[in-house]
Amino acid sequence: MNEPTPRTAFTLLEVLVALAVFSLLVVALFTVMSQVSGTWQQAQARIEPRQSGRAILDYISRELQMARLPADRSMFYSSPTAPPQAAQLGLQFVINPATVSAAKFLNPQAAFWQVPATGNSNGGMAEVGYFVRWDTNAAGNPRSMLCRFLAPPGDSNYFIHSAPANWITDSIIDAVAPGVANPSNSAQSYRGWFADNVAGLWVKALDPLGNPITTNALGTAYAAGTYDSRKGYRYLGTNGTNVIQSGYAASATNYQILATLPSAIEVSLVILDARAASRLTAVPTNYLTATNASAFVQGLPAKVRSGARIYSTRIKLDDPAGN
C-alpha cells in the first residue's frame, strides 16, 4: 500500500524573507523611477526655456529688421545746444522712453519702433514694442511675462499723429497691451501677453563698430540704457575722430538733424524655467541696478538663479538711414 505524498508549504520565516526582499525591490524600483523622473524634469526644465528663447529672439529679430522711420525725419534746433523739439516728430526708434513708468514697464528696458503696415491710413505705419511686466495678482508668487505692443494705424489708441511727443505712455500701453487681467474690461485681459517667465529684457543700440551708442548727434550723452533715433548719434570712427550718424547740417540760423536708426541692435533675455519661476516669492528689484543680464542673474535668489538662462542675439538693421 502506497504512503500518501507529504504536502509542502512555505514556513513563516520564508514568507517574511520573501516579503522583505520584495519590499526592497519595490523601494529600489521606486527610487530609480523617482531619479529618472527628476532627471527628466530637470532636462525638460532646461529644454523649454532654450526653445522659448530661440523662438522669441527669432520673432523679435524679424520685427526689428522691418524697423523704419517716418517720412518727415527733420528735427530743428535754435542753437547747437538747444534741446530737440521732439514734438515735431512721431515715433522712430526709442529705448526706455521717458514718458513710460520705470517701475511698471522698464524691467529693465523696453523698446518701441515703427514697421510698415497694411493700408495707407495714418501713414501706413504700425507701432511695435516689447517690454517685461510682472503679474502680482497671485500673492507670494509673482509671474513675469514678455509683452508685445502692437498698435496698427487704425487702432483707436494710436496717438502718434495727434500727439507725437506723447505717443507712448503708461495709459496707452495699458490700453494696447495690458498683459495682465483687466476685471473692468475682459476683452482687454491679457492682450499683448507674448511669453511666460521672461524676467528681464535688455536692448542696446549699437554703432557701426558694434559699440553701444552713448552720445546723440549734438554730442550730448544719452541717459544710461536709452536711445532716441530722433536725436541721432555720434561715435568715434576707426581713425579716432567723431562721426555724426544723422546728417548734421548747419546754417547761420538753423541746425538740423535728420534722425537715424542704430546700425544694429543687441537683444538679451533672461528666462526662468518653470521650477525656478515657482520659487519666486517677490518681484526681483536688482534689475534697477543691473547693467546687463549677467549681473541681473547673479542678483537673483540662489534657488531661482539656478534655473535662469540668458539668451542674446545681435540684429543688423536693414536700413539704418530709414529710407
Q: CA–CA separation, 113 vs 133, rounded Å?
A: 19
Omega of the bond leading into 108 within 30 degrees of 0 (cis):
yes
pTM of the model: 0.79
At 251, which amino acid appears? Answer: S
Most confident stretch, 185-194, 249-258, 268-277:
268-277
Identify the pLDDT of residue 260.
84
At 257, which amino acid appears? Answer: I
Listed in sequence order, the residues at least 6 apart from 122 whose beta carbon sits closer than 8 Å to its beta carbon are 153, 154, 158, 160, 161
Identify the pLDDT of residue 23.
85
pLDDT of residue 79 exceeding 70: no
* Burial class (CB within 10 angstroms; exposed 0-12, middle 13-18, buried 19+) of 19: exposed
7-25: pLDDT as tens digits:
566 677 777 788 888 888 8
Sign of CA dihedral 109, 114, 118, 119: positive
Region at 226 (left for phi over 0; alpha for psi -120 to 50; beta for the rest):
beta
97-142: pLDDT as tens digits:
888 888 888 888 999 998 888 766 666 788 899 999 988 887 888 9
φ/ψ (deg, to 5) at 241: -100, 155
Q: CA–CA separation, 180 vs 234, rounded Å?
A: 39
Percent of the chain with pLDDT over 70: 74
Q: Which residue has the cell 511666460?
A: 196
Mean pLDDT, residues 232-250: 78
Sign of CA dihedral 105, 106, 109, 110: positive
Region at 269 (left for phi over 0; alpha for psi -120 to 50; beta for the rest):
beta
Mean pLDDT, residues 181-208: 85
Q: How many CB atoms lie within 10 A of CB 178?
A: 18
Q: Mean pLDDT of all residues in the chain?
A: 80
- Per-domain residue ranges of the chain: 42-316
φ/ψ (deg, to 5) at 52: -65, -45
Grid coordinates representing 274 are 518653470
Q: CA–CA separation, 117 vs 152, rounded Å?
A: 7
Among 148, 149, 150, 152, smallest CA distance to 124 is for 152
Q: Which is more confident, 63 or 43?
A: 63
Collapse the DSSP code of 87 into the 3-class scheme (helix H, G, I; strand E, B; otherwise coil) and give the result: helix
